[in-house]
Amino acid sequence: MDLVNSLEGRLLFAVPKKGRLNAATLNLLEGADIQFRRENRLDIALVKNLPIALIFLPAADIPTFVGQGRVDLGITGWDQVKEHDAAVKAAASEDPSSPVSGSEMVMDLEFGACKLQVQVPEKGQYATGTDLIGRTIGTSFVSLTEEYFAQLEAQAGGAAPQKLRTKIIELSGSVEAACALGVADGIVDLVESGETMRAAGLKAIDTVVESVAVLIKSRSPSNTDLVDLIAARIRGVITAQRYVLCQYNIERSSIAAATQITPGKRAPTVTSLDDGWVAVSSMVEKKKIALVMDDLKRVGAQDILVLDIHNTR
């Protein structure tokens, strides 16, 4: 099969090929009924039921491909989008003729939450970012880290000097090891649970960026209707993941109290039963369901059921 020709007329959609965002992204595609089979070792997969080709790329490269308009849509971390923007800004300040590149945010995908944080040895002499000025910092986020220290240096010493006083060393993984091994005095890396940071004897002293997985699009996508369709499907899956359907029976006289507890997304559905009872069905935010059930019990609800929602629009 001539792969390049088979991409003709298809919307190109970049997704993380491995790492922390891969599994949740594949889940989202399945929920949005984007069907594909990926051949072994091949980083391009044609979607069977829509004119889309999925391109499997490292999360860190996706903002570049989308930003340059080489692919139309992408899923990556907000941290990677900001890192790419910072790199483009830095390149433009050095060479105004360097290519403009940037993507547009479509939506927050509600997974992959983490923070890009400045970390130092727990029992060391550094307490703030400013204490690290002039020291050596290890990171995979070179442009954001340079921007961060350029700002601190400017605040500390008046006008920003041409050259950064703080030395930034680029590392591509296991960044937390850098301090213990004497490669760096501090690091800038991602923290989610904090387990990796603590295991390495480090503590966070500042946050550079708060991140979550995002859907981004190029400034001039090839098929805007299809972009809107995918966005609507993904939004439906995310909403469905955030809510459960709560059903219960209650005496008609208590319906006002009960529907105050479960007002639903727009309004609860109320069905009359015989003998002065009603059945109520309502969408409830998953994280609030235990409290909602406690409250419903208190106002006399019975036969409370909680059901997963697979999709919504």
Ligand X SMILES: O=P(O)(O)OC[C@H]1O[C@H](OP(=O)(O)OP(=O)(O)O)[C@H](O)[C@@H]1O
3-class DSSP assignment, residue 126:
coil
Binding partner of residue 174 among ligand ATP, ligand X, none, CB cut-off 5 to 8 Å per kind: ligand X
Q: Which residues bind ligand X (CB under 6 A)?
A: 19-20, 173-174, 176, 189-197
Start-to-end CA distance of the chain, whole Å, equals: 37
Contact between 209 and 117 under an 8 Å Cβ cutoff? The reply is: no
Binding partner of residue 195 among ligand ATP, ligand X, none, CB cut-off 5 to 8 Å per kind: ligand X
The single residue among 67, 74, 112, 186 that binds ligand ATP, judged by CB under 6 A, is 112
Q: Which residue, 260, 305, 240, 299, is CA-closest to 279? A: 305
Report the distance separating Cα 182 and Cα 194, nearest Å: 21
Q: Which residue, 40, 179, 63, 50, is CA-closest to 123? A: 179
The string over 238-264, giving b where at least 16 C-beta atoms fall within 10 Å of a residue's C-beta and e elsewhere, is bbbbebbbbbbbbbeeebeebbebbeb
Which is closer to ligand X, CB of 191 or CB of 215?
191
Contacts with ligand ATP, 8-47, as mask; x by CB under 6 A: ----------xxxx--------------------------
**Interface with ligand ATP, residue 263, by CB under 6 A:** no
Amino acid letter, residue 3: L
Q: Which residue, 256, 301, 251, 254, is CA-closest to 276? A: 251
Q: Smallest gap, in angstroms, from Cβ of residue 18 to ligand ATP?
A: 5
Contact between 213 and 75 under an 8 Å Cβ cutoff? The reply is: yes
Contact between 244 and 113 under an 8 Å Cβ cutoff? The reply is: no
Which is closer to ligand ATP, CB of 184 or CB of 191?
191
The single residue among 9, 51, 58, 161 that binds ligand ATP, judged by CB under 6 A, is 58
The single residue among 192, 285, 294, 303 that binds ligand ATP, judged by CB under 6 A, is 192
Q: Smallest gap, in angstroms, from Cβ of residue 58 to ligand X?
A: 11
Which is closer to ligand ATP, CB of 51 or CB of 58?
58
Which residues contribute to the site for ligand ATP (CB under 6 A)? Answer: 18-21, 58-59, 77, 79-80, 112, 114, 173, 190, 192, 211
